[in-house]
Chain A
Amino acid sequence: MEAVSTAAIEGSAGAGAFLDALLAVLFSLLAVVVVMTFAGLSVVAERKVCAFIQGRYGPNRTAIPVVAAIPFFGNFLKKNGLMQLVADGLKFLLKEDPLPGHVNKFWYMVAPAMALSPVLIVACVIPFGVYWIDGQIYPMSVADIDISLLFALAVSALGVYGAIMAGWSSNSKFPYIGAMRASAEVISYEIAMALSVLPVVLWVGLSSQTPLSLFSIAQAQGNLWFCITQPVSALIFLVALFAETNRLPFDVAESETDLVSGYHTEYGSFKFGLFFVGEYGHIVVGSSLFITLFLGAWSPFPGLSWPESWGWISAVLSLLTFLLKIAAMLFFFIWVRWTLPRFRYDQVMSLGWKRLVPLALLNFAAYIIFMAI
C-alpha cells in the first residue's frame, strides 16, 4: 500500500524526498495556476477577440492608476485591455453577493462549488510538459495515473451536477429549463466523446502497456500527431467538447436571447464568478485533453519533440508549447463562438445521438479493421 502513496508523487525514485515534495508542490501550483490564469485571461480574451471579429476595439480604457503610469508597459497593458481583467476580478470579489429569498439555500451555495470542483480535479492529471531525472522521462502532472484518460472522462461527467443543482435550487423557470437542457446535452455528448477516444486508445495500445494513460498517449504521438492519423476522432471529440462545455454553437443552456442567462440567472457576484471561472476552466481543461490526445501535447511540430539533452530548458520549453497550444485552442473556441449561430435544442440532441454516436461507432469499427490489417 505504501506504493500507492508514493506513486502519487511521480517517479524520481532515487532523487530524495525533498525533490519529491518540491516537485509535488510545484506541479500542484502549476495545475491550479494554469487553469485559473487561463480562465481569468479568457475573460479579457473573449472580449478582445470578439471585438476583433466584429471589427471594433475591445476594452482599452481600463487603467489602474499606478500601473498605467509606468511609461511604456502601462500603456501596453491599458491598450490591450489586460487591466480589464483586474477590474473584472475585483468586481466579482467586491460586489454584494446576493442570496435571494426564494432559493433553496443549501444547494444554491453548494452548486458553484460543484461546478468548479471537477475542473480542478481533472487538471491534476493533465501532463503539462515533461522533465527528465536520471535519464528517465516524467510528465509534469500532479498525478500520473495509469488510467488517467478514464479518470478525466469520469470526473468531467460529474460536472453536470453543478448545472443541475444551480438550476433547480434557483426555484425559477428559466434557470430550471437551462439546467435541464445543459445536463441533457452534457450526458448525451459524453457518449460521443468517450467513443471517439477509443480508436486513439487502441492505437496507443499497440505500442504501450498503459494505453489509457494520458502520458502514454502523448508520448505515442512522437511520429505524427493523432489529429493527422485519426482526423475523424479528433473532429468528433472537438464537437463533443464544444457541447460539453456548453459553448456556442451548443449554447442552448444559456442562450442569451431566450433564456435570460440560463442556469446562472439567479446568481450574483462571487458565485457567478465561480460559475464563470468554472466554465472557462472547463474549456481550458477540455482543450488540454484535446491537445494531449490529438495535438501532440508538448511537441512543437508533428514529428519533433524536445531533445532530452537540453535538460531543464527542454522541460520549460515543453511547458511553454503546451500553454501556447491551450491559448490557441482558447482562441479557436472564442472564434467559433462569435462566428457560428446557435443550434436549436432539438438540433443539438439529434446531432449528438443520431449523428455523432453512429459516426463515432463507424469510426471505431473502421480503425479496428484498419489496425487488424
Chain B
Amino acid sequence: MEMESFIYCLFCAMCLGGGLGVLALRGFVNSAMSMLVSMLGVAGLLLLMRAYFLAFIMVTVYAGAVLVLFVFVVMLIGDRREDRSFLSKFMLLALWAAMCACLAFFEPQITAAGMEASSAGASLEPGSILALSKNYGYFLFTKFLLPFEIAGLMLLAAMIGVIVIARLKRAGNTKA
C-alpha cells in the first residue's frame, strides 16, 4: 500500500473514530479527549490537502485552546457519567453504521454528479494556492477584509459577553 493512502486511512480513522468516541463514550472527559483525537485527524487530513498553514493553525487554536477550554469547563462541572440517551448505545452505533453504508452506497452517484459539474482545472500538485501561508495573509487583507474586521469585532463581543455571563455574583451586585 502506498504511503500516502496509508496515511490517509490513518487520519480518516482518527477523525471518524474520534467522532464516534464523542458520540458513544460515557464520561465527559473521555469524549473531550476523543474529540482531541478527531481534531488531530482533521488536521492530518488538512495536511494531505496541502493546507499546511490551516492544519497547524487548527492544532493551535482548535485542539490547543478550544478543547482545553472544553476540558476546563468539564472539570469545573464534574465528570458525570451521562444518563442514557434517547437511543441506547447499540442503536447509536447501528445508526452510525447505517450512515456509513448509505455514504458508500451513494458514492458512485455523487461521483457522477461531480464529474458533470467540475469544469475548472483541478490541481493538487505542489505549489497549489493553499500551501503558501502568505496567500492567507494576502487574501485576508484584500478580498476578505470586511469579514476579517467583523470577525475581530465579533471576538471582542464574545469576550465581553463571556465575562458578563460567567461572572460570579459579588456581594451587593444586584445583577444576576
- A/B contact in complex, CB under 8 angstroms: yes
Report if B3 contacts A (CB, 8 A).
yes
Q: Once the chains are docked, how many angstroms separate the CA of A153 from the CA of B65?
A: 12
Q: How large is the interface on A (under 10, 10 to 19, 20 to 34, 35 or more residues)?
A: 20 to 34
Q: What are the residues of chain B within 8 A of A176 when measuring CB–CB?
A: 75
Within 8 A of A (CB), among B11-55: 29, 33, 36, 52-53
Q: What are the residues of chain A within 8 A of B29 when measuring CB–CB?
A: 107, 168
Report if A259 contacts B (CB, 8 A).
no
B52 near A154 with CB under 8 A, answer: no
Report if A257 contacts B (CB, 8 A).
no
Q: Which of A3, A153, A164, A212 contacts B60 (CB 8 A)?
A: A153
Number of A-B residue pairs at CB separation under 8 A: 62
A147 near B56 with CB under 8 A, answer: yes
Q: How far is the CB of A6 from chain B (nearest CB, A)?
A: 10
Q: What are the residues of chain B within 8 A of A147 when measuring CB–CB?
A: 52-53, 56, 133
Known: A5-B4, A154-B56. A183 touches B126 (CB 8 A): no
Q: Once the chains are docked, how many angstroms separate the CA of A67 from the CA of B91?
A: 65
A1 near B53 with CB under 8 A, answer: no
Within 8 A of B (CB), among A153-194: 153-155, 157-158, 160-161, 164-165, 168, 176, 180, 183-184, 187, 190, 194
Q: What are the residues of chain B within 8 A of A194 when measuring CB–CB?
A: 60
Report if B71 contacts A (CB, 8 A).
yes
B36 near A161 with CB under 8 A, answer: yes
Q: Once the chains are docked, how many angstroms separate the CA of A212 from the CA of B53?
A: 10
Q: Once the chains are docked, how many angstroms separate the CA of A150 from the CA of B52?
A: 10
Q: How far is the CB of A32 from chain B (nearest CB, A)?
A: 21
Q: Which of B3, B4, B65, B133 contacts A187 (CB 8 A)?
A: B65
Q: Once the chains are docked, how many angstroms separate the CA of A215 from the CA of B133?
A: 16
Report if B59 contacts A (CB, 8 A).
yes
B64 near A1 with CB under 8 A, answer: no
B52 near A157 with CB under 8 A, answer: no
B4 near A4 with CB under 8 A, answer: yes
Report if B124 contacts A (CB, 8 A).
yes
CB closest residue in chain A, given B137: A205
Q: How far is the CB of A143 from chain B (nearest CB, A)?
A: 12
Report if B130 contacts A (CB, 8 A).
no
Report if A279 contacts B (CB, 8 A).
no
A1 near B124 with CB under 8 A, answer: yes
Within 8 A of A (CB), among B109-160: 124, 126, 133
Known: A1-B124, A3-B126, A168-B29. A150 touches B3 (CB 8 A): no
Q: What are the residues of chain A within 8 A of B72 when measuring CB–CB?
A: 180, 183-184
Q: Once the chains are docked, how many angstroms separate the CA of A165 from the CA of B79?
A: 13
B64 near A158 with CB under 8 A, answer: yes
Q: What are the residues of chain B within 8 A of A212 when measuring CB–CB?
A: 133
Known: A4-B4, A168-B29. A146 touches B52 (CB 8 A): yes
A-B CB proximity, top 8 nearest? A157-B64, A154-B59, A154-B60, A154-B56, A150-B56, A1-B4, A5-B3, A3-B126
Listed in ascending order, the chain A residues whose CB lies under 8 Å from chain B are 1, 3-5, 107, 145-147, 150-151, 153-155, 157-158, 160-161, 164-165, 168, 176, 180, 183-184, 187, 190, 194, 212
10 residue pairs of the A-B complex, CB under 8 angstroms, read: A1-B124, A5-B4, A147-B133, A157-B59, A158-B63, A158-B64, A164-B68, A168-B75, A194-B60, A212-B133
